[in-house]
Each structure stands twice: as C-alpha cells, then as structure tokens.
C-alpha cells in the first residue's frame, strides 16, 4: 500500500480499513511481488559475506542495492533520483536471459557486481574466505591466485567461472547447481516481466467452522481457499512471501504438522510449551455472547518477537495478515527488533525521534488488521531486554522467532552471544530457521556449545514443511544458493523444579545449595507470572497510537498440574507410605470399551454437536445396521476399527471433516438392512449343513484326486492344474507357477478385478438409487468390502494353510480344557480313588445298598428318557412343515453346479451332505468300508424305508430341524462377533498378530503335526486306536507292537486327513465357492444378470 493510502487508512476504523485494502489488493498485486527482488537479494546475502558487503557498500554507493541494507530495487538512495519504471515486457516463454545481455538494466548491473566481487570456485585457486564447509569436505588448496568470475555459463546465464577453460574443467561440479541457477534466473526475470501477479491476491477471513490442513503447501492453500496457482513458477513466487508467516503459524497452530508421533519431531517439552500458547491462540467460545450477561474479559494479545529482523520486516502487510487469519479468535502483536529491521523502508517510514514516551523510537502500525498490529524497533534485543521494557514474559502469551539468525556463523555469532542467555532466561519458546541443512546444523551446534544443559529442544531440527519453494542467489558468491526458511527448530530455557529437603538427604552440601538456588529462581519466575497486573498495562493493543486505552488485567495462567513424582509423594504421605494401587485395565472386548471406541471414531462430529453433559445412546447417533442393538454394537466396533485404520488414516490428512464417515456408514447401513431382510427368507440350515458341505466334499475329492495321479514317473502332472480343471474358477486363472512371476501377477490382477465386479454387483442390488449416484462413496465402500473384507479376510487369511492349522490347534486346546474341566466337575463330589500299585487292580466290592441305589438310578433314567421322548414326539406334531421349495432357475454358483436345477431346495435332515462330507474327510470308505456301508443302509432305511421315520416333514425330521434352527439363532451372533473381533483385532487395533506364518518348510510340517495331535487328543483313545491304529487297508497293528509306534501311526493317519487343507491356491477355490454360494442364495439376481445389466437397470 502506498504511503499516502496508508496514512489515509490510519484514520479509519478496523473494518473500514479492511474494506479499503480489499479494493486496493487487486491494484497492488504486482507491486507486492515486485518487492521480492530486494527480498531475494537481502535474504541471499547471508552472514557469510555480511562484513565484506558492508565495506563494499561504504566504498561503492552504486553497489548499495546488493547489500543487506539496500533499498528496494525500485528505490535508490536519497542522493540518487528515482529511476523511471521500465517498460520492458517479457513473456513467459522469454524469461531466460544471461545477466550480461538481459533486457533489464538491473541484471546487467548485477552481472557487473558479480565480476567485481565474486571469485572463481575452481579448486586451482587459493581459498579467499574462511571455510564453513561440512565435515568430510575439503577446501580449495590450489596454487593459483584468486580470480574474479568473468565467464557466464550458457545454460544458466550467471557468471560463475573466471574462464571458459575452468568452467569446462569443473563442469561436473557446476552441473549440481546449474539447473537451480537457471531457475533463479528465470524467476528473477519473471519478477520484472511486467505481468500481473494474480497469485498475490491473498484470501481473506475463513468460515469459523472451516479447518485448515497444514500438511503441506498444497493442502494449506486448498483449505484456506487460495486462488488456483497454475504454474510452478507462480507457486515459487508466492511461497517466497508466505513462508515467513506460515512457518510461524505451522509451529504454533493446533493442527500443526509437527506432532509426537514417530517422525513428527515434536518433543514432550515442546508439546507443553506450544500447548500453553495454543491455549490463548485458540480460545474457547463457550460462555461468550453479545449480551451483558455473556460478556467475558478479553485476554491481552499474543506477542511474537521477530529478532534480527531483515527482509521479513519489509514484507507486504497483507502477507503478515495471513498469520492473523490462522488465529481469528485471538489478537496478535508482531514486534520486529533488529538493527536492520527498517532496511528498504527508510523513505516509507522515517525513523521517529526517541522520546520518553517512545524510548526506542518504535514504529507502530496499528491498522494492519483489526486484530493485529506490527511494531518495529531498530536496535539490538539485548539492549531492550536489560531495560525491562517488555517484561514480564509469559509462556502463555509470548514467543520468539529468529529467521535465518546465523547463530553459529563466524561472521555473526558474536552478535548473539549476549542475547542468547537473556532469551533462555525468559523460558519462552524460541523458533529458529535456517537457509540450508548446513546452516541449521551449525546454529544448533553453536547453541549446544554455548548453553549446554541450559535449554530444552521443543522441535527437533529438520526441513520446514512450509519452506520457500524458490531458491535465492548470493551475488557475492554465485555458488551460494539458499532457500528461505529451509529448516526449522525450536528450543527454550530449561525449567528447574523446586526440591524438598528429603530429596537432598544423600547429596553434598554444595549440590544441595546449587539445587535450592535454581529451584528458588524457578519459583520466583513462576510467581512473577501471577503478580504482573501492573506491568501488563504496557501490553496494550491500542487502536490509535495517540490515544491508548486501558486494558483489562491479563487472565492468570492456568495452574500447572502437579507432576507424577509429586502425586506419588502425596499419595505416599497420605497412605502411610503405601504405594497407590494401579487402576484396573479395561477389557477391550467389554461393552464399555466398545462404546468408547465407537463414540471416538464414528460419533466425533455428532458428539461435538450434542451437549457435553448429556450422553446419547449409540442407536440415536448412528443408523441401525440390523434389528438387534447387541449385533449392531459388535458390527459398529468392526467398522470403527476398519474405518480408523483404512479411511481416516489418509482422509484426515486431507481434511478433518467427519461428515464423510457418516455418509460411508449410511451406505453400509443400507447394505446391512437389505441383507438382513434377505437373510430372513434364507434357508440357513440347508445352506450350512447341505450346500456348503457339498462344496467341501467336492473340494476334498478334487484335492485328493489331483495329488494322487494315475500316471507314473517320469510323467508328471501339476496338481494345481488338475485341481483347477476339476473346479474351474475364472478369477483364479491362470494357475500360478513357482518361478513364473508373470502368471502370478496375472492371476492376482484377475482376482482383484473379480472382487471389484462382485462387490459392485452386490451394491447395485442392495443400495438405494441415491447412494448409487455418489461415485466417491461407492468407490470407498467398494474398496472396504472388496479388499479389506473379501480380499484380506475371506480369500487372504482364511485360505492360508498355516492359519487353518493354527485355528485347529487353538480349537483343540479350548475343547480339551473344557473336557478336562467337565471331568473334574464329575468327580469333584467323590473321594479320590486310592492309589494302586502298577499292575494291580482293586477288586470291586458289592453291597445290597449299592445294588439297590444303582437299580433306582437306572429306573429313574429310563423313566426320564421315555418321558422326554414322548413329550418331544407330541411337541413335534405342532411344529411347522418343511415344505419343499422348487427353484425355477438354477441358482447355483459357478463352483456349485447342479445337474438338476429343479431339485427340492429342502431335503431331509438325515440326507444332508454334511454326513457324506464327514465320511469323505475321515476316509470312511477306504478305512472301514463295512461301517460306511452299514451307515448308508441305516440312512436309506430311515429316510426311504418302512414308515419313513426321518423323511422330509416327518415328526422326527421337523424336530431335528427345530433344534438345528435354534443353533443358528441371532442371539448367538453377538458372542461370535465379539470373539472374532478379539482374534482379528486384539486390543481393538490391527496390531501385530501373535500368529506368525512358519518361516520354513520344517516349521510348517511341525505345525501340521501339532494340529493333527490336537485333533487326536479329542478322540477317545480306544476309538483312535481302532480307526487310525492300522493301515488304510484296515489291518490293525499287532498287539505286540510298541506304544510309541502305535502313537506315531495314529498321528500319521490324522495328518494324512488334514492334507486337504495344505494348498493355499486350492483353498481359495473353496473360499470363493462358499462366498459365491452365499451371495447367490441371498441375491438370486446375481445368477440371472451381469454387473453392467444390474447397474443399467438401477440407473438407466
């Protein structure tokens, strides 16, 4: 803003001056960016050459434009006349010009300056300056005298070497910076091209409910509603200005990209310090209003001290206002302090006289923004600090910022030696930046050497997320390329806690005196924070420099919470030295922990909109998934874990908006309710006990057939190809071969595409039309179902042989423990039998009383059994009939083909395929064919024989069906889901599973043996010896055989039965077949129409 307009704006109120700036922002866009030429040169003139440039400036007035105290490029010194604005217009395709031949006179003057002061970097020349290289790098050790640069590289257009020969000889090293130098050349010409810098039109205030994402420049500009920046060059130009305010805001903001997570760089002490500032930068709105009753005292402004201010002090004020927009509810006072803080602004703001009311000649700009003012003081900070002008310093309201201070540089470190102890004494956060990694590390090392043990790191040194994307060139050394605010770190003076006498019993008197002195000093500093109402009158936020209004007293800082050590001491003192008991941990599967998980993940926004004192039930906050609240609770726990780990993990990095999660839940709720309606009409008993066992029976037969070929060596057949030919599934083709990466990749791609098509077809059937018209939600929900549920669980984990064997081991252990506990309960009321010697048996003693009691027990048992049988048969007559339902079309999946599509969907319970599947699994036909034939005869006679006792809809058949349906009651589902959640997500998080796959084939074989041994332990010993003790042909083991040999034979037989689960690829056929069968039974439309037809039918 021009000085005349600024003076006019000073006479207006805050709102009017804001409107005036808005109308003039379009006109001043180019003028704001034009000042960047001087900023670039000021920033690029690092402390490396500061002393030499000051001497040059004094000797050569024409070179003043290139020193750290230069005037802007469009302003000369007072002795020179203002230059006539150039009329040169450079197009965006004509920005590259060598400095010597540039159409802009300023670049020709810069080229002449470089030829006069910059030295050739070729190693043949002697070094001309103090080496500040990193460890491991060697300085120049040549014998030639130093020479000034005279040759311009044709690729970058910058004078870099003394001759063409040295440039060619050192070309490999020059290539490291050549592209960057060319970019600097074009960016500098772009600033003087005469174009309109539309990117300089900065946004105004944002909506109160709109959050700012500070992950990087792109997310920040998007959420702050910047105008679209179309080119990388424009992005570099605007970030060169915004890097100063946004760097400060990114560290202090509550949504800062720096956190306590791994790699977040924020330390525990940093969280404490920055949380204190954020307490006032983001004040709460509760209790405030426009009425008299809701008036609240307004806290004083937060002071940001910018020490050693140079280029940042001459930034356009609209740039610094962006910092105020990040904290719209708080007031800010930006204080620029430094001997060069008025550089480039001498004509705009002449220094005022120092008077008793203004002892340091401060320039106050109180109309920058209605909640922000900027003060500039041309002096060293330690001079002001000693006078107590800004005292006291409050960690809740004060912060120091050092932009490129050069703390460790040899040419400028002496200027900070007196200032650093005073900064650490304030115990206020200090944010510091650096031009490069070397510059940052050098500053950190210098602070550690000067104040070792006297400061705490608040933010670990590292690259700044909001550094300038534009590089700057030092005209005195073209090899010195820097970046504005490349790195950032933060620290503050260490705080000491007071100690009691008991803590110092075992210390020497000297250490006790030192500890007490430091503790007393810390206590004094804390008391100064509270007793400072009189001094706070200096911290005014006056709307005019002429009239200063009295401020309300500063709010007292919140009382600090006692440390954990102090709490333990208090507890020990009150409890006679007893250690306080540990709070009981909450079971992650309990209803309380489950509700907390659901509210925290799925009800974040709704809980924020509700009152904090009223706790609403989950069913009022979330849509119902089913008709049972206990089932919904477990399903929502699954969804909370999946959405937190798979959706919010990346979505919250884009925006903190939580409405998207609610929309995803609505889509899932529509699917679940539609599935529940279809489940009510599904014949679950036939599906689970007849159709799925039929698939398993076919899998067992196909696996054993493929692994027991008829052909002999040397003719070999790939077992997987045989199995795939017997049970073909398109999504699992081609058959993956070991060593053939192409076939494996192609099969995985086909499988992923099939999952996507399957889920898209299901969504097209279940979802309402308005949900189908939202492609974003459909994509997210489709990925959750296809990849996380179908791909990861159904086809991934459930198909792994080692996981199936581990499940068998776990189930065997659980059932074995139940069997042991049941046996113990049976004998708990009896006396333990006497111990008998080996080989001796105790003779059973009979008595008349024992015989009489046995006869009574037997009679009662017979009567109870007869009564139960008669009552059951009478009750079965009132059960509904199981009417056969004939399907019109074949509703079978591709892996479950039926020869007769019109066969009854319901069959007698005694004819279910589960009996045939069990017999096939245990190899009943080959091990005991006589028993298999006898059972088949019994089954046939019971179903088709005289009386048809177990035929369809017979009393016994209806009775068995009734008890089977009770097993599949929905009341058992919450417990099953809770157990499944505990297995898949221990502690309600994916975490690292305790079940790890075997690392070698030997471990896999050992795991399979453990699974066989677990199943063998569930069988009675006699049954196992009779059935598994002999060969497959049926011959029994000799009675004289060893017991160990008998056990190994039984174990080998059980292991042979489990081999049907040994191949992951074959198991996938089974899992996909079961999945297809269930979906087709629930949604017969899948077997009638394709995916495209279903979507076309729904959406037209």
Sign of CA dihedral 459, 460, 461, 464: negative
In angstroms, the CA 550 to CA 532 distance is 15
Same domain, 170 and 270: no
Same domain, 932 and 1079: yes
Q: pLDDT band for position 1031 (50/70/90)?
A: very low
Enter the tokens of residue 938.
Answer: 């019994």
Q: What percent of the chain has pLDDT over 70?
A: 74
In angstroms, the CA 362 to CA 351 distance is 8
Same domain, 654 and 802: no
Give the pLDDT of residue 972.
82
Given 478, 494, 518, the domain boundary residue is 518
Same domain, 370 and 309: yes
In angstroms, the CA 64 to CA 75 distance is 11
Same domain, 787 and 695: yes
What mean pLDDT do residues 444-460 have?
A: 94
Give the pLDDT of residue 288.
66
Long-range contacts of 688-692 (CB under 8 A, 24+ apart): 688/968, 689/909, 689/912, 689/913, 689/914, 689/964, 690/907, 690/912, 690/913, 690/914, 691/896, 691/913, 691/1077, 691/1081, 692/1074, 692/1077
Does residue 550 sit within a domain?
A: no
**Model confidence pLDDT, tens digit, residues 560-597:** 444 443 444 444 444 444 444 444 456 778 888 888 88
Give the pLDDT of residue 1019.
86
Under 8 Å between Cβ of 173 and 145: no
Q: pLDDT band for position 815 (50/70/90)?
A: confident
533 pLDDT above the threshold of 70: no
Q: In the predicted model, what is the mean pLDDT of the chain?
A: 77
Greater model confidence, 343 or 235:
235
In angstroms, the CA 338 to CA 406 distance is 14
Give the pLDDT of residue 983.
74
Give the pLDDT of residue 950.
81
Cα separation of the two ends of the chain: 58
For residue 641, the enclosing domain spans: 591-680
Given 191, 209, 233, the domain boundary residue is 191
- Reduced DSSP (H G I as helix, E B as strand, rest coil) percent helix, strand, coil of the chain, to 5: 50, 5, 40
Which of 539-543, 710-714, 814-818 is least confident? 539-543
925 pLDDT above the threshold of 80: yes
Same domain, 179 and 246: no
Q: What is the 3-state secondary structure (H, E, C) of 421-486?
A: HHHHHCCCCEEEEECCHHHHHHHHHHHHHHCCCCEEEEEEEEECCCCCCCEEEECCEEEEEEECCC
Residues 6+ apart with CB under 8 A from 416: 405, 407
CA-to-CA dists, residue 112 to 66, 90, 152, 183, 1017, angstroms: 12, 22, 12, 20, 94
314 pLDDT above the threshold of 50: yes
Same domain, 713 and 603: no
Give the pLDDT of residue 494.
87
> Does pTM top 0.75 for this prediction?
no
81 pLDDT above the threshold of 70: no
Does residue 1048 sit within a domain?
A: yes
Under 8 Å between Cβ of 724 and 734: no
List phi, psi (to 5°) of 482: -130, 170
List phi, psi (to 5°) of 493: -65, 140
CATH number at residue 431: 3.40.50
Does residue 876 sit within a domain?
A: no
Of 1023, 1016, 1057, 1038, nearest to 926 by C-alpha is 1057
Q: Structurally, how many domains does the chain consist of?
A: 4
Give the pLDDT of residue 899.
44
685 pLDDT above the threshold of 90: no
Under 8 Å between Cβ of 429 and 399: yes
Greater model confidence, 33 or 154:
154
Does residue 571 sit within a domain?
A: no
Greater model confidence, 1081 or 820:
1081
Tokens 């005349």 belong to residue: 4
Which DSSP category does 829 fall into?
T
Does residue 566 sit within a domain?
A: no
Q: pLDDT band for position 1092 (50/70/90)?
A: confident
Given 680, 695, 718, the domain boundary residue is 680
Q: pLDDT band for position 129 (50/70/90)?
A: low
**Model confidence pLDDT, tens digit, residues 587-628:** 778 888 888 888 888 886 655 454 445 667 877 888 888 888
Give the pLDDT of residue 824.
73
Same domain, 712 and 644: no
In angstroms, the CA 530 to CA 553 distance is 11
Alpha carbon 132 to its chain's center? 39
Cis link prior to 392 (omega < 30° from 0)? Answer: yes
675 pLDDT above the threshold of 60: yes
What mean pLDDT do residues 1084-1100 have?
A: 84
Which of 67-76, 118-127, 222-231, 626-635 is least confident? 67-76
Does residue 840 sit within a domain?
A: no
Same domain, 226 and 167: no
33 pLDDT above the threshold of 90: no
In angstroms, the CA 21 to CA 201 distance is 11
Does residue 1070 sit within a domain?
A: yes
Give the pLDDT of residue 160.
93
In angstroms, the CA 671 to CA 625 distance is 8
Give the pLDDT of residue 555.
37
Same domain, 623 and 719: no
Highest mean pLDDT: which of 431-445, 697-711, 872-886?
431-445
Same domain, 478 and 597: no
Greater model confidence, 25 or 672:
672
Alpha carbon 318 to its chain's center? 34
In angstroms, the CA 401 to CA 396 distance is 15
Alpha helices in 192-316 (DSSP H): 217-223, 232-252, 268-281
State the number of CA atoms in the 13 A half-sphere of 642 facing the CB.
Answer: 22
State the number of CA atoms in the 13 A half-sphere of 465 facing the CB.
Answer: 21
Which of 359-373, 750-764, 776-790 is least confident? 776-790
The torsion angle over the Cα atoms of residues 511, 513, 516 and 522, rounded to 10 degrees, is -90
Greater model confidence, 781 or 497:
781
Which DSSP category does 24 fall into?
H
Buried b (16+ CB within 10 A) or exposed e, 932-968: beeeeeebeebbeeeebebbbbbbbbbbbbbebeeee
902 pLDDT above the threshold of 50: no
Give the pLDDT of residue 981.
83
Of 365, 358, 310, nearest to 332 by C-alpha is 365
Which DSSP category does 368 fall into?
E
Same domain, 276 and 241: yes
In angstroms, the CA 500 to CA 572 distance is 15
| Element containing residue 374 per DSSP (H, E) | strand 372-377
Give the count of beta carbons closer than 10 Å to the beta carbon of residue 293. 6
Of 406, 253, 217, 411, nearest to 325 by C-alpha is 253
Does residue 944 sit within a domain?
A: yes
Sign of CA dihedral 735, 737, 741, 742: negative
**991: alpha, beta or left? (left if phi > 0; alpha if psi -120 to 50):** left
């Amino acid at each position: 803003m021009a000085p005349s307009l600024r003076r006019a704006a000073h006479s207006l109120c805050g709102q009017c001056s804001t409107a005036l700036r808005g109308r003039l922002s379009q006109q001043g866009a180019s003028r704001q960016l034009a000042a960047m030429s001087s900023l670039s040169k000021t920033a690029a003139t690092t402390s490396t050459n500061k002393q030499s440039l000051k001497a040059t400036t004094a000797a050569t007035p024409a070179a003043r434009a290139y020193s750290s105290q230069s005037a802007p490029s469009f302003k000369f010194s007072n002795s020179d006349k203002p230059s006539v604005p150039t009329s040169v217009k450079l197009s965006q395709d004509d920005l590259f010009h060598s400095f010597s031949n540039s159409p802009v006179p300023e670049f020709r003057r810069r080229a002449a300056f470089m030829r006069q002061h910059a030295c050739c970097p070729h190693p043949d020349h002697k070094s001309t300056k103090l080496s500040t290289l990193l460890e491991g790098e060697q300085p120049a050790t040549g014998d030639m005298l130093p020479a000034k640069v005279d040759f311009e590289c044709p690729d970058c257009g910058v004078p870099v070497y003394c001759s063409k020969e040295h440039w060619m000889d050192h070309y490999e090293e020059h290539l490291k910076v050549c592209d960057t130098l060319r970019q600097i050349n074009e960016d500098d010409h772009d600033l003087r091209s005469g174009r309109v810098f539309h990117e300089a039109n900065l946004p105004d205030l944002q909506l109160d409910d709109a959050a700012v994402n500070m992950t990087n420049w792109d997310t920040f500009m998007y959420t702050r509603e910047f105008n679209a920046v179309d080119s990388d060059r424009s992005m570099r130009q605007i970030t060169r200005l915004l890097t100063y305010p946004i760097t400060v805001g990114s560290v202090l903001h509550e949504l800062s990209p720096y956190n306590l997570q791994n790699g977040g760089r924020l330390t525990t002490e940093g969280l404490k310090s920055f949380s204190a500032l954020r307490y006032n930068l983001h004040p709460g709105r509760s209790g405030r209003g426009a009425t008299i009753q809701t008036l609240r005292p307004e806290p004083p402004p937060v002071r940001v001290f910018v020490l050693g201010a140079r280029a940042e002090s001459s930034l356009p004020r609209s740039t610094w206002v962006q910092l105020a927009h990040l904290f719209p509810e708080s007031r800010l006072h930006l204080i620029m302090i430094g001997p060069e803080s008025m550089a480039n602004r001498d004509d705009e703001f002449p220094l005022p006289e120092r008077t008793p009311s203004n002892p340091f000649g401060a320039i106050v700009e109180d109309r920058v923004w209605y909640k922000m003012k900027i003060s500039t003081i041309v002096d060293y900070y330690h001079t002001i600090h000693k006078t107590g002008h800004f005292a006291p310093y409050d960690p809740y309201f004060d912060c120091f910022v050092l932009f490129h201070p050069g703390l460790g540089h040899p040419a400028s470190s002496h200027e900070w030696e007196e200032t650093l102890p005073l900064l650490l004494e304030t115990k206020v956060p200090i944010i510091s930046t650096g031009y490069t990694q070397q510059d940052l590390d050098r500053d950190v090392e210098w602070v550690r050497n000067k104040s070792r043990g006297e400061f705490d790191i608040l933010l670990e040194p590292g690259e700044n997320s909001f550094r300038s994307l534009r590089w700057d060139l030092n005209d005195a050394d073209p090899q010195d390329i820097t970046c504005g605010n490349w790195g950032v770190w933060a620290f503050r003076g260490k705080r000491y806690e007071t100690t009691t006498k008991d803590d110092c019993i075992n210390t020497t008197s000297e250490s006790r005196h030192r500890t007490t002195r430091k503790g007393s000093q810390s206590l004094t500093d804390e008391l100064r924070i509270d007793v400072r109402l009189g001094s706070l009158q200096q911290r005014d936020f006056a709307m005019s420099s002429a009239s200063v209004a009295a401020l309300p007293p500063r709010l007292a800082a919140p009382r600090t919470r006692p440390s954990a050590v102090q709490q333990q001491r208090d507890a020990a003192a009150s409890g006679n030295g007893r250690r306080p008991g540990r709070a009981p941990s909450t079971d992650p599967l309990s209803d309380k922990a489950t509700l907390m998980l659901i509210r925290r993940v799925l009800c974040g926004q709704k809980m924020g909109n509700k009152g904090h004192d009223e706790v609403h039930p989950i069913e009022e906050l979330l849509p119902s998934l089913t008709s049972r609240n206990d089932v919904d609770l477990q399903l929502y726990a699954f969804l909370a874990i999946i959405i937190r780990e798979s959706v919010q993990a990346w979505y919250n990095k884009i925006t903190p908006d939580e409405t998207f999660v609610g929309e995803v839940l609505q889509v899932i709720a529509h699917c679940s309710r539609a599935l529940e309606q279809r489940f009510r009409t599904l014949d679950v008993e036939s599906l689970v006990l007849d159709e799925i066992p039929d698939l398993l029976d076919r899998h067992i037969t196909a696996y054993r057939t493929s692994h027991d070929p008829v052909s002999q060596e040397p003719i070999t057949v790939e077992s997987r190809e045989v199995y795939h030919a017997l049970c073909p599934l398109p999504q699992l083709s081609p058959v993956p071969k070991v060593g053939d990466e192409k076939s494996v990749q192609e099969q995985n791609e086909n499988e992923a595409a099939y999952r996507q098509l399957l889920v898209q077809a299901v969504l097209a059937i279940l979802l309402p039309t308005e949900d189908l018209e939202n492609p974003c939600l459909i994509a997210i929900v489709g990925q959750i179902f296809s990849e996380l549920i179908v791909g990861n669980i159904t086809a991934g984990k459930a198909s792994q042989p080692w996981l199936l064997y581990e499940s068998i081991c776990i189930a065997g252990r659980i059932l074995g423990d139940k069997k042991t506990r049941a046996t113990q309960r049976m004998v708990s009321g009896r006396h333990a039998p006497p111990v008998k010697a080996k080989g001796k048996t105790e003779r059973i003693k009979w008595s008349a009383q024992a015989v009489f009691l046995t006869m009574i027990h037997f009679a009662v048992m017979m009567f109870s059994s007869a009564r139960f049988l008669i009552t059951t048969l009478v009750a079965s007559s009132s059960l509904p009939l199981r009417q056969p339902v004939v399907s019109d079309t074949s509703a079978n999946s591709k892996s479950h083909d039926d020869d007769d599509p019109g066969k009854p969907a319901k069959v007698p319970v005694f004819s279910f395929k589960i009996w045939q599947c069990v017999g096939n699994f245990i190899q009943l036909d080959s091990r005991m064919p006589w028993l298999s034939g006898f059972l088949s005869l019994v089954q046939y006679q019971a179903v088709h024989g005289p009386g048809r006792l177990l035929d369809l809809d017979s009393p016994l058949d209806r009775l068995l069906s009734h008890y089977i349906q009770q097993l599949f009651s929905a009341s058992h589902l919450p417990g099953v889901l809770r157990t499944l959640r505990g297995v898949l997500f221990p502690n309600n998080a994916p975490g690292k599973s305790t079940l790890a796959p075997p690392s070698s084939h030997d471990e896999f074989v050992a795991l399979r043996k453990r699974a066989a041994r677990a199943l063998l332990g569930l069988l009675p010993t006699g049954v196992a010896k009779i059935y598994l003790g002999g060969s497959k042909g049926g011959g029994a083991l000799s009675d004289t055989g060893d017991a160990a040999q008998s056990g190994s034979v039984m174990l080998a037989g059980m292991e042979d039965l489990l081999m049907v689960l040994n191949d992951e690829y074959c198991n996938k056929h089974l899992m996909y077949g079961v999945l297809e069968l269930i979906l087709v039974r629930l949604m017969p439309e899948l077997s009638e129409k394709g995916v495209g037809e279903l979507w076309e039918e729904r959406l037209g």
